[in-house]
Amino acid sequence: MLVLVAPGQGAQTPGFLTPWLELPGAADRVAAWSDAIGLDLAHYGTQADADAIRDTAVAQPLLVAAGILSAAALGDILPNAVAGHSVGEITAASFAGVLDDTAALTLVRKRGLAMADAAAITETGMSALLGGDPEVTVPHLEKLGLTPANVNGAGQIVAAGTLEQLAALNEDKPEGVRKVVPLKVAGAFHTHHMAPAVDALAKAAADLTPADPKVTYVSNRDGQAVATGAEVLERLVGQVANPVRWDLCMETFQELGASALIEVCPGGTLVGLAKRALPGVKTLALKTPDDLDAARALIAEHASA
């Protein structure tokens, strides 16, 4: 049983799109998407520096484009289940046939702009906490005024809030937490700081006509499978201001009987979590086209009708 997953913001690195654009037809496809959303995806994916692609309005469409492009390079596959972390949920909606590629990129472009505007209101950010017990960590974060914005499982929680609150966290880590790592994001996503973006995204979503998922679509709001395109879209809107429960998604993968998990480009983060939380599940991250043959072999072995 094969699960296809898409990473969220912070997974991008300078130049990561370069080898993918060398695949047949890829450059033309990305150029068409760039024209559709008014953003030069090829430039940002190949030439821009880390600060430029940290910009929320750039990073989000870039990640969705890379995820769709790398999944398409696998050929005509139909995974048994799909899911995405944060903005990766829009990528997953494309995998599931809920949104076509252009609709997904149009929505994520508006999402990125709206969240960038919301982030500009107050200086905020996010930091990953490695280790510790959630029952100890979460109350500690709330005491500091921080939100557990991503509960990722495998001993990882991401805290979000103002820069002052995050600085206080560095000085006062919860018991059992080994390390606090600032993330390459430009705001406190999945918190009340993003509330202004919800209305803008709702207006953008109103122009779309979603289809029902062709495969099991697992929502990171609560780890539940969502049966209709309308509900997927409603959850994508509200998700920007609500925590990501990737731990619950992984529990659902296990309940569904997942035997393999492939993370699309720029893969690595979700595979790392799966290796710790899903023992026995084979994993593969699509980092470059060199990983495609191994991914196809995994698909042939684990995808079922």
Catalogue the active-site residues: 86, 190
101-119 vs 88-95: helix crossing angle, rounded to 10 = 170
Q: Phi then psi for 38, rounded to 5 degrees?
A: 70, 40
Sign of CA dihedral 192, 147, 248, 156: positive
Q: Which two tokens stand for residue 57?
A: 């309005």
- Burial string for 263-286 (b: 16+ CB within 10 Å, else e) reads bbbbbebbbbbbeebbeebbbbbb
Strand partners, 283: 261
Of 279, 285, 289, 290, give the one whose Cα is nearest residue 263.
Answer: 285
Of 283, 279, 246, 244, give the one whose Cα is nearest residue 267.
Answer: 283
CA dihedral 131, 135, 137, 139 (to 10 degrees): 180
Cα(265)–Cα(186) distance, rounded to whole angstroms?
Answer: 21
Q: Phi then psi for 228, rounded to 5 degrees?
A: -120, 150
